Amino acid sequence: MVHFRDLERHTTPCDDTVLLSVGWLGRDMEYPTGEVAPNFYEKLRELCRNPWQPFATAGFHICDLCQYDGVSLKGQLYVPDQDCIYVAPAGVAHYIAAHWYNPPAAFVQAVLNCPPMQTMDYKKKLLANGGRGLTRAFKEPSQPK
């Protein structure tokens, strides 16, 4: 799996949509640890159950932080917030539960404020915070007439 520092900034290929990485952990990197609030963890798990995916991912990742029998992780979680969208691996809840990962406070607040996944309110918030680029970034270019 690709590893990024928390809050590392990325843009989509077609515009200036701001994506901020959260929870892209790996065995050879340091990451913040500590307790998280139960209400945040439960809300995060709820969002991870059926996350909106702007494109298909290829394959899955086995958690390399687990000592034995790493769990299989697949997909990404997009959490819109004030003029940005946080993007985390869908396994971020596993990293918190099993490896004591403590995500940035801004991400925690964004998760708590996030409408339920796959609802119109979620889609509106995604678009209002730059998500239009995610929906266009991976469409095929139009064919000439």
Residue 59 falls inside a structural domain = yes
Closest CA to 36 of 96, 107, 116, 122: 96
Model confidence at 143: pLDDT above 70: no
Mean pLDDT of 120-129: 94
Listed range (20-24, 62-66, 103-107, 138-142) with the worst mean pLDDT: 138-142
Count: domains in the chain: 1
What pTM does this model have? Answer: 0.88
Residue 58 falls inside a structural domain = yes
Listed range (27-36, 37-46, 63-72) with the worst mean pLDDT: 63-72
- Predicted local distance difference test score (pLDDT) of residue 38: 98
Residue 55 falls inside a structural domain = yes
Helix (H, G, I), strand (E, B) or coil at 89: strand
State CA 120 to chain mean position distance: 19
Residue 81 falls inside a structural domain = yes
- Predicted local distance difference test score (pLDDT) of residue 92: 96
Listed range (16-30, 43-57, 97-111, 129-143) with the worst mean pLDDT: 129-143
Listed range (50-59, 107-116, 125-134) with the worst mean pLDDT: 50-59
Residue 141 falls inside a structural domain = no
Burial of 102 (0-12, 13-18, 19+ CB in 10 A): middle
Listed range (11-15, 108-112, 115-119) with the worst mean pLDDT: 11-15
- Predicted local distance difference test score (pLDDT) of residue 14: 61
Residue 64 falls inside a structural domain = yes
